[in-house]
Amino acid sequence: MSAVEAPVPVAGGVAIPAQPERSEGAFRQMARRFVKHKMAVVGFVVTSLLILIAIFAPWLSPHSPYAVTAEFSAAPSASHWLGTDQVGRDVLARLIYATRVAVIVGFGTVAIYVTFGTVVGLLSAYLGGWVDMIVMRVTDMFMAFPYMMVILVVVSVLGPTLGTLVLVLALFSWPSIARLVRGSVLTLKQMDYVKAGIALGLSTPRIVFRHILPNALAPIIVNATFGVAAAIMAESGLSFLGMGVQPPTASWGNMLTDAQSISVMTDQPWLWLPPGIMILVTVLAINFVGDGLRDALDPKQ
């Protein structure tokens, strides 16, 4: 952005009369740029809808996701809009409840690993020296692991609960964000405003969290957004393999397991098409949000 940019008039009555020249803050500026990105807005709406569906699943769902009816593998009808599965449960109900799993895994995993990875990356870069060296070697180790295999082993040892799944996915995701944060902090800590903070006698936590972190936030947010999509994909994959969310709890991944047989693939598309589409739409929507955020947060625009 250019230094000569005219002060933007205050919108929406947030102006404090005594301070007429209050210019727009980083968040409003980001929001203004984000809404220009059409696909990102669509993605944001879809993601918000998914979260709402997850929250209000009991009210939205026409049936219980666990209730077994007399009709097995029934085609879509008026009472079962998306038909029933091979055990006779309503597919739409299961689809709606599976949104909960996706949202919990997606956002839960990201919340844990982004927080952890950010703190580790910040400290590693700011403290430097042997702390940095040890942390970076640990991240190297994690990144060199064939993690899918390790996840399979851990899940089979600890039992495939939702909590285990979230923790295990987070365990193998934090190193990349720690490295990302470390990189930008290494650059930021050379900035004169950080030096000025030291010369002004500000405390180290203050410099790290008030001066460095806010300026390192943009790539973290973008990475976290893509991380949600990646975690949902990973959960689906694991559930598909039977190592993730266990039936009878519904997850898009374990709903797809049914599609392993050719006859279901060809004759009963209502069993696998809806969860497949849900995964696709969710991941796409979140990635669009990520794209939009990346553009909106790019300081060079």
CB of 220 to another protein, least distance (A): 14
Q: Interface mask (CB under 8 A) for another protein, residues 151-190, using x and -?
A: ----------------------------------------
Q: Is 201 in the site for another protein (CB under 8 A)?
A: yes
User: Using CB under 8 A, which of the segments 56-64, 91-99, 208-216, 289-297 binds another protein?
Assistant: 208-216
| Count of residues that bind another protein according to CB under 8 A | 31
> What string marks each residue from 236 to 275 as x (binds another protein by CB under 8 A) or -?
----------------------------------------
- Asked if residue 150 lies in contact with residue 172, where contact means CB atoms within 8 angstroms, the answer is yes
Region binding another protein by CB under 8 A among candidate stretches 137-145, 157-165, 209-217, 222-230: 209-217
Instruction: Look at the alpha carbons of 183, 2, 196, 115 in this order and tell me if their dihedral is positive or negative.
Output: negative
Taking CB under 8 A as the criterion, which residues in 5-24 touch another protein? 5, 7, 19-23
Would you say 166 and 112 are in contact if contact means Cβ atoms under 8 Å apart?
yes
Q: Give the shortest CB-243-to-another protein separation in angstroms.
A: 40
C-alpha radius of gyration, the chain, whole number: 23
CA–CA distance, 243 with 241 (Å, rounded to integer): 6
**What is the spatial distance between Cα 61 and Cα 228, in angstroms, rounded to a whole number?**
24
Nearer CB in complex with another protein: 36/195:
195
**Which of residues 115 and 215 has its CB atom nearest to another protein in the complex?**
215
Report the residue number, 3 or 78, with the smaller CB distance to another protein. Answer: 3
- Choose, by CB under 8 A, the member of 14, 198, 277, 280 that binds another protein: 198
By CB under 8 A, the residues from 26 to 55 that bind another protein are 26
- Closest CB 115 distance from another protein, rounded Å: 20
User: Hey, is 13 helix, strand or coil?
Assistant: coil
Nearer to another protein, 146 or 299 (CB): 299
Q: Which is nearer to another protein, 49 or 198 (CB)?
A: 198
Integer Cα distance of 228 and 110 in angstroms: 6
Evaluate the CA torsion angle 156, 157, 163, 166 in order and state its sign. Answer: negative
Q: Is 276 left (phi over 0), alpha (psi -120 to 50) or beta?
A: alpha
Ramachandran region, residue 137 (left: φ > 0; alpha: ψ -120 to 50; beta: rest) = alpha
Chain mean position to CA 87:
32
Minimum Å distance from CB 127 to another protein? Answer: 13
The answer to whether 252 touches 278, Cβ cutoff 8 Å, is yes
Q: Min. distance of Cβ 138 from another protein in angstroms?
A: 18
Q: Give the residue from 120, 113, 118, 151 showing the smallest Cα distance to 228.
A: 113
Q: Which residues of the shown chain bind another protein in the complex (CB under 8 A)?
A: 1, 3-5, 7, 19-23, 25-26, 191-193, 195-204, 206, 210-211, 214-215, 299
